[in-house]
Chains A and B, each alone.
Chain A
Amino acid sequence: MKENKNFISIVLVLGMLAAAPLFISNDYYLNILTQVLFFAIYTFGVNIMVDMGGLITLGSASIFGFSAYAVAIFSNLGYGSFFSISASLLLSIIFNSVFTAVSLRSIGVGFMMITLALGQIFWGLAYRWVSLTNGDNGINLSERPNLLDFSLNSASHFYFLTLALFALTVININLFKQSSLGKSLVGTKVQSRRMYALGYDVWKIRFFSCLYAGLFTSVGGILFFYFNQFISPHALSISASTEALLMIISGGSSTLFGPLVGSALIIAIKLIVSTFIDRWNLLLGLIFIFIVILMPNGILPFIQQKFSRNR
């Protein structure tokens, strides 16, 4: 059964990731893996709407950034980490509700347009509302918090926290795919007309799925802030939203671990490339065009296809 195969794959991958620190002694590389994981959490969330819902958002960084800023602002107001995180998640759901309600006035290309416009508007807001966000200077965090006496200052501690959340993400999303809402969501992508006729409120299905997906995006944003101990408006830029999409499509949006593979790929390329040239955006654009035209299903399926054809 497909579900059993997936279960084994998930256990294997999580197992390997859990064992990774044993083989990686250098904190530098462990930190990279941590980043790959929280970006994967973020993009797994976005992929719920892209793969299952057929809705490509160009404004996912807005929710990501909002959650990060919320946690940053509350932390700097003196609130403890538990309160800051809870408040951020709650406010993010409200923010996402508004964002999604406006965006869902359309689907397909229209949805992309509205999410792009909204994304830019909130990026602009983060930039200019200096009294709240500190504008271009961003907001700093002097020290990573202790969560229940578990200090996040060490690389391995932070890694395991991220891995635990990543595991929860993968497990929950796979369960979601088999749930009634998950199946309904896929139904709205494949045959929305039929779904209406069957008694499904297609708008509500999309809306609540977006809220669910947004939770993972928010968690990614919060981890991002605590990891970097910094947040700036750049995290809400169109560049950031596009990178998230690129992670999804390069890894393969319909594969089991697509967003993880894509996340690793893009972060790796970014790191390697930044030592040679300064022009990441150029490369981002070129890779994007390349993948959309040649490998729209992602790199892994593309390679798989090539191999099976050669047999």
Chain B
Amino acid sequence: MLSCGFSLIFGLMKIPNLTHGSFFMLGAYVSVQLVNSTGLNFFASAIICSLFIGLIGSLFERTIIRKLSGNHQAQVLVTLGLSFVISDLCLMTWGGEAISVPTPSAIRGMTKFWMLDFPTYRIFIVLVGILTATFFYLVIEKSKFGAKIRAGVDDPDMTRAMGIPIHKLFTLTFGIGTGLAALAGIIGSPILSIYTGLDMDMLPLALVVVILGGAGSLKGSILGSLIIAILFNFGQAYLPEFAYFILFLPMVIILALKPNGLYGKFSI
């Protein structure tokens, strides 16, 4: 989910959004705050907060990023700057102690699945992931809106020439990508808990997934996420000292052999 959002923004706007991890973390923090303050249901809060953060993302794009239109490197630097701002604001607001988020009561416990017990919540996450991926796949591939995005990825100048307001598309896409990141953060929070530095733990994962899976391709992001998740988790289990390094190898191999990534539309 995180990578789909990232790939969406990168594919269309050619900007690796370095604030992506921060929005992931911010979403988790804000949602927990909302639930604790108002007693709102976990799922309702997830949706509300994702929309809210998505809106913030759109605002950021509209004001700051659009100002630097054309200068990709500057846009990337500005997202980096914002990530520091959000990171510290979170630290100021919620402190340095990790916050553990309780699994929503509706999906607690274990479920038997083919002779093995799985934590129900994890199954839920997998399902949400599949649902999101499917939903976005359908939207991008089958809808008119998706067609506009695909056109923008393939040929921004032509899209503009055809009268499609590409700036509005950018703002909307940035918002959607950001909202996705926030949603991912909220849903992941019962498992990961929320802590300072969560943003910088997640960002390189999104980066490596896009490099691995390829830019501008949803299929690539999904496949890339799977590979990275498996490698990272096994790495942490068996070679904890080198877990991060495990990410290095597939990234290097792909960059060496196929700079476009597995399914990328363009080389980064």
Contacts and interface: CB of A to CB of B under 8 A. Distances in A.
Chains A and B directly touch (beta carbon < 8 Å): yes
Interface in B52-104: 64, 67-68, 72-74, 76-78, 80-89, 91-92
Given A108-B73, A118-B248, A131-B241, A289 B259 contact: no
Contacts of A202: none
A80 interface: no
B242 A112 contact: no
Interface stretch (A14-22, A30-38, A119-127): A119-127
Given A117-B207, A120-B204, A293-B67, A58 B80 contact: yes
A121 B250 CA distance: 13
A292 interface: yes
Contacts of A129: 241-242
Interface in B241-260: 241-245, 247-248, 251-252, 255-256, 259
A208 to B, nearest CB: 19
A109 B18 contact: no
B20 to A, nearest CB: 12
Contacts of A287: 81
A180 to B, nearest CB: 27
A245 interface: yes
A249 B80 CA distance: 14
Interface string A81-116: 000000000000000000000100110111011101
A286 B85 contact: yes
B74 A292 contact: yes
Contacts of B84: 239, 242, 281-282, 284-285, 288
B36 interface: no
B16 A112 contact: yes
B32 interface: no
A114 B76 CA distance: 13
Contacts of A296: 74
Contacts of A116: 16, 18, 203-204, 207
B74 A113 contact: no
A285 B82 contact: yes
A282 B85 contact: yes
B34 interface: no
Interface in A273-311: 279-282, 284-289, 292-293, 296
Nearest to A241: B80
Given A108-B72, A109-B15, A242-B80, A124 B243 contact: yes
Nearest to B244: A124
A39 to B, nearest CB: 18
Nearest to A279: B88
Given A121-B204, A281-B84, 20 more contacts: A109-B16, A109-B72, A110-B267, A113-B211, A114-B255, A116-B204, A116-B207, A125-B245, A130-B241, A239-B84, A245-B77, A281-B88, A282-B85, A285-B85, A285-B88, A286-B81, A288-B80, A289-B64, A292-B77, A296-B74
16 contacts: A106-B255, A106-B268, A112-B76, A116-B18, A117-B204, A117-B207, A117-B208, A121-B248, A124-B244, A127-B244, A242-B80, A282-B92, A288-B77, A289-B64, A292-B68, A292-B81
Top 5 nearest A-B pairs (CB, nearest first) are A285-B84, A124-B244, A282-B88, A288-B81, A110-B268
Interface of B: 14-16, 18, 64, 67-68, 72-74, 76-78, 80-89, 91-92, 200, 203-204, 207-208, 210-211, 240-245, 247-248, 251-252, 255-256, 259, 267-268
